Amino acid sequence: MTTQAATNEPSTLTEAIFGKEVVNASAFSKVRAWPAEFRAAMASVLLASAVFLPYLGAVGLWDPWETHYGEVAREMVQRNDYVHPFWENAWFFSKPAFTMWMMAVGLRAADIGPMLALLLGALLGGLGWAAYNGKLKNPSATKEFWGSLGMVFGAFFLILFIWAKANGLQWKFSSVAEGPYALPLFTEWGFRLPFTAFSIIAVGLLSYAMAIAVSPRAAMATTVVLVSMPLYFLLSRQAVTDTPIVSATIAGIACAMVGLFDKTTKYRSEWWYASYVLFAIATLAKGLLGFGVPMLVFGAYVVFREASFKSLGAHLGWFFKHMLIPVGAGLGAAVVVGAFAYVLGKKWDTTFMAVPVIDNKSVISAPTWLGIMWGSLAFWITATIMIGLDKNATKTRPPAVFALMYDMRLGTGILLFLAVCLPWYYEMFTFWRVDDESKIFWFRFIIHDHFARLGSGVHTTTPGGDFTYFILQGGYAMFPWVAIIPGAFAVVGKLKIRGMTSADGVGLIAVLWFVVSWALIGSSATKFHHYVFPMLPPLAILMGMFIDKLWDEGVDQYALVLLLGVPLFILVGKDLAATPKNFTDLFVYNYDRPYPAYLTERAVLGSNNVKQLMGMAMVLCGLVVGLFAMLRARAMMFTAGLASVLLFAVWFNWFHWVDLSHHWTQRDQFWRYFSQRRPNEPIAAFLMNWRGETFYSRNTVKQIKDNPQVGMKNYSDQDGREWSLVEHNRLGILKSAVGDKNVTLIDKDLNNKFVLVTIE
């Protein structure tokens, strides 16, 4: 058998794509001098930016989630209350505040518009130039990396400013909160950019960690896989809660991987503390899963990697020698502090985690909850401090499990985690107001939105579902990478749980991450297609490791698992080409909402339509990559595959997503309303509550839902002209309600769901 080493093919994929002369050119000598992990991180950030950023704010926010959370953020700005979320006319308790904080920052940025781009461009460009030329006191190994990164982002923002100037856009403060006017032009940019930037940073950190723990090639392969997965790039362009929790989880686990596997770093503590901060952000983004998934993953990692019955005696001996006194002291502190908190809570009539009474008696009183919380905190603080003061505990290496806990900075890390996320949750757990369903925060958020979502189903249009639910949606979410799922599993089969290599450790973390995510989310009674999102990053890691192996060991070594992936590629590709709606259904709320079929059925390139061309492109790319694989042309196979997936990702993000967005947003209708309305002409939403009408009207829209015939009649009988938004299929009901009034449609083909009308 001819091995890959015996061929004259390039030794690296970069060399195969760009050529040996380009790679070895003197112009790139400084880049080649960077550490490999920095090069991988830099390339990953640039690739993700190129796919995610263009046209990010070119279209309106999608109904209902972006506009729902967006209105909460707008209310934060208007009410100047960034702690207690509020929507329309009631408190909003279904999601934590971090998502809305990101949006509020974006709204404030949108106030300034292009001027902010100019300032950011000048600042980042200046800092980048200074770092690159050694003006800043950066370590010599990293100054070129950070300098180049600063100049790249600086150039991006300067180009944005020049574009805005060329298009005659103004940069002035325009209130995001008040007045019957359209929101600032850069609102959508401001909303989405923090979410997309977080996703890009997460990709860069994951690539950095993979380069250290596995290889730079595995790092870049993981990046390409993740960035080109349809659900990942679609949600990276959405201002929704799923994006920050997954981005924070990716970034946190990546930092933890560096802390675990980088044996040369001088900053192990900093990497671990960064991971705890990121897990706290994930908890502030969507609740218990933010820390629950990493806790289960790393808890299982410790058990699988280090625990054994043989070492049980050593662990028990070390525990009784070094931890018995700190634990006892912690328990004593918990009792004292908890009792004190209980007495004060009772005296001050605390509302901390107050619950409805049952038979005139609460299950656990609010003062008791308060005592439990402060007692638990006192236990952990006391035990952590006392363990840290015991210098004898670490004079010799503790048993494996305890040693790993020390390496993870578990005690102080959890305190840092609590310092970040506990203040907001503590305030909200004490907040006694109720939402529009008469529920206080903790009861609504913990019981209803966590446990009821898991056990009985909440707000889902596809409740229940069998075990194949996420297999089907996962196939759509990661296409075309379904073809190498068998290969990823083959890599897993060769890993050693107690292996000494860091690659084995990364593989174990990825497997545990996927298993925990699938087990938790798959067992939930509430199911949405996009719930497969948290399962994509660990699968991307395993796929990246397989691609690395495939390059090193050749097609012959993995021919059978590649063959197993062929029917997956064909069947999933056939479904997507025949029904492109499967793409949008990955990240929308109502799967019955009409799809703008004409976008994929209109003729292009002669008599062919987009749907047909998509199918033909999938077939062609599959055949080309398969042909090169059979010919053992490694470089050509990889290059053709890379070009195919990136061209697909760019086309979808830069073009198709933009066309689709006009049918899932109400911004276009409200732009027409605000440009054509005369003074004192109101707007109503008839038999709909898609959230966009509340956000884009600044909460001035009149909702006509109850007794709609009478409500619309009374509304249309006002003096002057009225405006209304209505779904196309309910236009007849509206016309019937207004009687002999003249109903005029405004750009009726602009949106296949909604239409804007005037009534006079």
What value does the mean pLDDT take over residues 634-641? Answer: 87
Written as six digits, the tokens of 143 are: 């100054």
pLDDT at site 526: 83
**Is the pLDDT assigned to residue 107 strictly greater than 70?**
yes
Q: Which is nearest to 604 in space by CA: 616, 595, 622, 619?
A: 616
C-alpha to C-alpha distance for 526 and 518, rounded to whole angstroms: 13
Asked if the peptide bond before residue 114 counts as cis, ω within 30 degrees of 0, the response is: no
Give 470 or 157, the one with higher predicted confidence: 470
Ramachandran region, residue 640 (left: φ > 0; alpha: ψ -120 to 50; beta: rest): alpha
What value does the mean pLDDT take over residues 100-116? Answer: 76
Cβ–Cβ under 8 Å, residues 377 and 341 = no
pLDDT in tens, 303-322: 988 888 888 999 899 999 98
**Cβ neighbours around 390 below 10 Å, total:** 14
The one-letter code for the residue type at 617 is A
- Under the banding of pLDDT at 50, 70 and 90, the label for residue 362 is low
**Is the pLDDT assigned to residue 452 strictly greater than 50?**
yes
C-alpha to C-alpha distance for 367 and 360, rounded to whole angstroms: 16
- Under the banding of pLDDT at 50, 70 and 90, the label for residue 635 is confident
pLDDT at site 495: 86
**Is the pLDDT assigned to residue 15 strictly greater than 80?**
no
C-alpha to C-alpha distance for 245 and 258, rounded to whole angstroms: 20
pLDDT at site 498: 81
Range in 321-335, 404-418, 453-467 the model is least confident about:
453-467
584, with CB counted inside 10 A (0-12, 13-18, 19+), is buried
**Is the pLDDT assigned to residue 135 strictly greater than 60?**
no
Range in 120-124, 252-256, 339-343 the model is least confident about:
120-124
Range in 360-369, 488-497, 588-597, 609-618 the model is least confident about:
360-369
pLDDT at site 2: 41
Mean pLDDT of the chain: 86
Beta-bridge partners for 743 = 759
Written as six digits, the tokens of 28 are: 């790139």
Give 224 or 22, the one with higher predicted confidence: 224
What value does the mean pLDDT take over residues 243-271? Answer: 93
- Under the banding of pLDDT at 50, 70 and 90, the label for residue 19 is low
Give 150 or 716, the one with higher predicted confidence: 716
pLDDT at site 354: 82
**Is the pLDDT assigned to residue 485 strictly greater than 90?**
yes
The one-letter code for the residue type at 384 is T
pLDDT at site 746: 93
Cβ–Cβ under 8 Å, residues 661 and 239 = no
- Under the banding of pLDDT at 50, 70 and 90, the label for residue 154 is low
What percent of the chain stands above pLDDT 70? 84
pLDDT at site 172: 40
**Is the pLDDT assigned to residue 127 strictly greater than 80?**
no
Give 345 or 26, the one with higher predicted confidence: 345
**Is the pLDDT assigned to residue 169 strictly greater than 70?**
no
**Is the pLDDT assigned to residue 115 strictly greater than 70?**
no
pLDDT at site 157: 63
pLDDT in tens, 187-215: 898 899 999 999 999 999 999 999 999 99
- Under the banding of pLDDT at 50, 70 and 90, the label for residue 6 is very low
pLDDT at site 68: 94
pLDDT at site 39: 86
- Under the banding of pLDDT at 50, 70 and 90, the label for residue 162 is low
Give 451 or 114, the one with higher predicted confidence: 451
CA distances from 143 to 46, 289, 595 (A): 17, 37, 49
pLDDT at site 395: 81
**Is the pLDDT assigned to residue 324 strictly greater than 80?**
yes
Q: Which is nearest to 442 in space by CA: 337, 394, 526, 370?
A: 370
What value does the mean pLDDT take over residues 639-658? Answer: 92
What value does the mean pLDDT take over residues 409-413? Answer: 93
**Is the pLDDT assigned to residue 136 strictly greater than 60?**
no
**Is the pLDDT assigned to residue 646 strictly greater than 60?**
yes
Give 157 or 6, the one with higher predicted confidence: 157
C-alpha to C-alpha distance for 375 and 392, rounded to whole angstroms: 28
* pTM strictly above 0.85: yes
pLDDT at site 316: 92
pLDDT at site 173: 36
- Under the banding of pLDDT at 50, 70 and 90, the label for residue 85 is very high
pLDDT at site 164: 57
pLDDT at site 183: 80
pLDDT at site 386: 93
Give 466 or 688, the one with higher predicted confidence: 688
**Three-state SS sequence of 148-189:** HHHHHHHHHHHHHHHHHHHCCCCCCCCCCCCCCCCCCCCHHH
pLDDT in tens, 657-716: 999 999 999 999 999 999 899 888 999 999 998 999 999 998 999 999 888 899 999 999
pLDDT at site 264: 86
pLDDT in tens, 527-577: 888 899 999 999 999 999 999 999 988 888 899 999 999 999 999 999 999
**Is the pLDDT assigned to residue 401 strictly greater than 60?**
yes
Burial state string for 26-40 with b = 16 or more CB within 10 A and e = fewer than 16? eeeeebeebeebbbb
Ramachandran region, residue 168 (left: φ > 0; alpha: ψ -120 to 50; beta: rest): left
| DSSP tag of 684 | E
Range in 91-105, 116-130, 320-334, 438-452 the model is least confident about:
116-130
CA distances from 279 to 251, 416, 629 (A): 9, 10, 41
313, with CB counted inside 10 A (0-12, 13-18, 19+), is exposed
